[in-house]
């Protein structure tokens, strides 16, 4: 029988200790089979075991996210139990003397989400935290709302959002002065250290469990009431197709739309109910090629004016509009296009409600999102804030009235939810579409009006998926060591390295390449997937509508070709 080496022997011992404390029979069995394969000399199994046990799934500002399987570098009941106990210890330690910290926990329809949520509630209750579990599977925005509504110390949402089907995750919010936003440094590192202390000191069986509370439906009712207020009562009803992408968005969205006065949309029935297998899509993300094909087919059947799609936990929104030039007959708007139109809508509302003192408030977007939002803010005398990527940063912009990022995330009602919310954003966009239709205009007409008023802000993205994460670091290091003098034939004016912070921005692994003519390229590793992401923006702001579009499009195409060459 083949012999394992000393390192493999140590890994096998760690795996057997893991099996002994794992309460999940499925992950126990698959890890036991992997260990047996390693013992038999299977090199692939040995590599897999090394990947699972040589590192720990990092707890960062996005919380935890990874594939469901056994081991510390995967999502499973052992890891989640350790995370819950570590977060509980963090909350107890920072609580004011004589007070009991609290947490509200939500979960979506992914595999093991309900189990992970219940484990978390029991373990956090056992650690001295008042734990409240939402009544059933619900969208992420409802959990984000509940943190503020209940005034809890923290919130946990068990979701992997739009990740592949076998992934799950653990998103953490903080209450109090953090106002229900996602965690940022240094809290992420402090929670991570607390989790590691728990993992080193106790097995899952040794963690005390306690009784938790289950929230009643009034939390959901109040979220629905407040979210419906985002819309103006429609005078006309656009024909709408809706898909939940096999997620949890539909039930809550349906109630919000009814409360706001909208007729029920036509549904993509194959995708409307929660299904952790996501059978009709390879990746349950509206941005991925093919993900909205069923939506387009349904839209063609009824001649829809608009297609509305949420991702599986309904914190993101995709919009598609009729487009005769598209083979599908519909075109999904980019996240930047939707964000700019919603930002324009928010700016008009802020301006009309400003009173004698004039408009007040801030429009915010991430640094990788369209700079067109700054042009809108200037036109309406509003403040503008460009933040690091993620709503953990956007939601903290002072005086925020609207925020977005290009990855289909929009925050339209910051007094209710301090995170991206695909349901409130859908209602806001439907309200805009209804207003346009009442005026005899389409969303496409409105996009043209935006170009003529604020310029054509075109954008593109290059996404390099890797299997070896070291490739990402190597590319970033190469760009820093030998910065390009030109990209796609366009002269580089300067390169801003955000590694040590830049202006008011905290340190981040981002390069900002500023080019001649107002174009810009941002390069950064993805925070949630094994990808290097390149964001390209250019503007055409002189001449006719077609001239503006042509100028911006040509610059973007040249920059995209240049960046593909640089990152090859």
Which pLDDT score is estimated for 469?
85
Which pLDDT score is estimated for 5?
82
Contact partners, residue 267, CB within 8 Å, separation at least 6: 241, 242, 243, 250, 298
Question: How far are the Cα atoms of 231, 284, 287, 307, 429 from residue 265, in angstroms, in the given order?
Answer: 16, 21, 21, 9, 14
Report the interhelical angle of 422-438 vs 443-454 (nearest 10°).
90
Structure tokens at 183: 């965690």
The angle subtended at Cα 409 by Cα 364 and Cα 523, nearest 5°, is 75
Q: What is the pLDDT of residues 202-239, one digit of tens each?
A: 999 999 999 999 999 999 999 999 999 999 999 999 99
Nearest of 477, 537, 539, 531 to residue 513 by alpha carbon: 537
Nearest of 79, 84, 134 to residue 109 by alpha carbon: 134
DSSP secondary structure letters along 20-66: HH---HHHHHHHHHHHHHHHTT-HHHHHHHHHHHSS----BTTBEEE
DSSP secondary structure letters along 450-515: HHHHH-EEEEEEEEEE-SSTHHHHHHHHHHHHS--SEETTEEEEEEEEGGG-BTTBPP-S-EEEEE
Name the residues annotated as catalytic: 161
> 266-267 and 490-497: which strand pairing?
unpaired
pLDDT class for 527, splitting at 50, 70, 90?
confident
Q: What is the pLDDT of residues 271-289, one digit of tens each?
A: 999 999 999 998 999 999 9
Average pLDDT over residues 544-548: 98
Percent of the chain, pLDDT > 70? 98
Nearest of 403, 433, 162 to residue 319 by alpha carbon: 433
Taken in order 41, 45, 51, 54, the sign of the CA dihedral is negative
Q: What is the pLDDT of residues 319-344, one digit of tens each?
A: 999 999 999 999 999 999 999 999 99
Average pLDDT, the chain: 95
67 SS3 class: strand
Which pLDDT score is estimated for 1?
42
Is pLDDT at 96 greater than 70 in this prediction?
yes
Strands (E), 46-128: 64-67, 102-107
Average pLDDT over residues 181-202: 94
Percent of the chain, pLDDT > 90? 89
Q: What is the pLDDT of residues 114-146, one digit of tens each?
A: 999 999 999 999 999 999 999 999 999 999 999
Q: What is the pLDDT of residues 50-75, one digit of tens each?
A: 999 999 998 877 789 999 999 999 99
pLDDT class for 29, splitting at 50, 70, 90?
very high
> Phi/psi at 471 (nearest 5 deg)?
-60, -35
Which pLDDT score is estimated for 352?
80
User: Which single residue is written with the structure tokens 């809890």?
Assistant: 152
Which pLDDT score is estimated for 61?
72
Cross-strand partners of 321 = 331
Structure tokens at 496: 């801003």
pLDDT class for 354, splitting at 50, 70, 90?
low
Cross-strand partners of 532 = 464, 525
Question: How far are the Cα atoms of 71, 373, 547 from residue 445, in angstroms, in the given order?
Answer: 53, 19, 17
CA distance 254 to 152: 27
Is pLDDT at 526 greater than 90 in this prediction?
no
pLDDT class for 356, splitting at 50, 70, 90?
low
Strands (E), 212-356: 213-214, 240-243, 266-267, 306-310, 317-322, 330-332
Is pLDDT at 355 greater than 80 in this prediction?
no
CA distance 276 to 246: 7
CA distance 196 to 194: 5
Which pLDDT score is estimated for 179?
86
Nearest of 367, 287, 378, 391 to residue 335 by alpha carbon: 287
Q: Are 38 and 11 contacting, i.e. CB atoms less than 8 angstroms apart? A: yes
Q: Is the pTM of this model over 0.85?
A: yes
- If you ran DSSP here, which 8-state letter would residue 68 be given? B
User: Taking the CA atoms of the chain, what radius of gyration do you get in angstroms?
Assistant: 24
Give the range among 230-234, 252-256, 453-457 with minimum mean pLDDT: 230-234
Q: What is the pLDDT of residues 378-412, one digit of tens each?
A: 999 999 999 998 999 999 999 999 999 999 999 99
**Domain annotation for the chain: domains and CATH numbers:** 1-54 (no CATH), 60-216 (3.40.120.10), 220-330 (3.40.120.10), 335-453 (3.40.120.10), 455-566 (3.30.310)
Which pLDDT score is estimated for 359?
65
Average pLDDT over residues 352-372: 84
Which pLDDT score is estimated for 357?
59
pLDDT class for 182, splitting at 50, 70, 90?
very high
């Amino acid at each position: 029988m083949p012999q394992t080496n000393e390192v493999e022997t140590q890994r096998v011992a760690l795996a057997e200790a893991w099996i002994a404390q794992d309460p999940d029979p499925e992950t126990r069995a698959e890890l036991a089979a992997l260990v047996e394969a390693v013992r038999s000399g299977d090199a692939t199994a040995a590599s897999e075991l090394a990947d699972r046990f040589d590192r720990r799934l990092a707890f960062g500002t996005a919380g935890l996210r990874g594939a469901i399987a056994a081991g510390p570098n995967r999502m499973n009941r052992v890891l989640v139990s350790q995370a819950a106990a570590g977060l509980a210890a963090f909350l107890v330690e920072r609580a004011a003397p004589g007070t009991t910290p609290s947490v509200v926990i939500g979960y979506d329809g992914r595999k093991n989400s309900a189990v992970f949520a219940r484990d978390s509630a029991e373990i956090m209750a056992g650690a001295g935290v008042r734990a409240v579990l939402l009544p059933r599977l619900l969208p992420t925005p409802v959990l984000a709302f509940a943190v503020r509504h209940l005034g809890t110390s923290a919130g946990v949402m068990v979701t992997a959002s739009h990740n592949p089907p076998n992934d799950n995750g653990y998103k953490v919010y903080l209450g109090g002065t953090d106002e229900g936003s996602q965690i940022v440094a240094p809290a992420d590192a402090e929670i991570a250290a607390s989790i590691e202390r728990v993992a080193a000191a106790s097995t899952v069986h040794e963690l005390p469990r306690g009784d938790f509370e289950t929230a009643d439906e009034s939390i959901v009712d109040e979220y629905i009431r407040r979210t419906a207020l985002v819309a103006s009562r429609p005078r006309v009803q656009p024909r709408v197709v809706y898909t939940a992408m096999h997620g949890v968005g539909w039930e809550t969205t349906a109630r919000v739309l009814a409360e706001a006065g909208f007729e029920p949309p036509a549904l993509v029935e194959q995708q409307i109910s929660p299904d952790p297998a996501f059978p009709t899509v390879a990746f349950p993300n509206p941005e991925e090629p093919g993900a909205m094909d069923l939506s387009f087919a349904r839209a063609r059947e009824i001649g829809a004016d608009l297609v509305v799609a949420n991702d599986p936990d309904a914190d993101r929104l995709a919009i598609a509009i009729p487009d005769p030039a598209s083979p599908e007959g519909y075109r999904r708007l980019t996240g930047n296009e939707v964000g700019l139109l919603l930002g324009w809508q928010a700016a008009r509302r802020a301006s009309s409600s400003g009173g004698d003192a004039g408009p007040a408030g801030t429009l915010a977007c991430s640094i990788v999102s369209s700079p067109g939002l700054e042009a809108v803010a200037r036109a309406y005398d509003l403040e503008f804030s460009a933040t690091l990527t993620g709503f953990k940063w956007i939601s903290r912009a002072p005086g925020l009235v609207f925020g977005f990022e290009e990855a289909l995330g929009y925050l339209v009602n910051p007094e209710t939810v301090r995170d991206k919310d695909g349901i409130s954003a859908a209602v806001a966009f439907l309200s805009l579409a209804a207003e346009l239709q009442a005026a005899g205009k389409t969303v496409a007409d409105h996009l043209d009006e935006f170009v003529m008023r604020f310029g054509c802000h075109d954008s593109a993205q290059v996404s390099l998926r890797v299997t070896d994460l070291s490739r990402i670091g190597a590319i970033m290091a190469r760009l820093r060591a030998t910065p390009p003098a030109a990209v796609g034939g366009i002269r580089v004016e300067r390169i801003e390295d955000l590694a040590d912070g830049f202006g008011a921005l905290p340190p981040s692994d981002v390069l900002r390449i500023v080019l001649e003519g107002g174009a810009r390229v941002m390069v950064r590793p993805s925070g949630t997937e094994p990808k290097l992401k390149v964001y390209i923006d250019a503007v055409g702001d002189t001449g006719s509508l077609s001239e503006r579009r042509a100028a911006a499009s040509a610059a973007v195409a040249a920059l995209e070709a240049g960046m593909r060459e640089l990152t090859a």
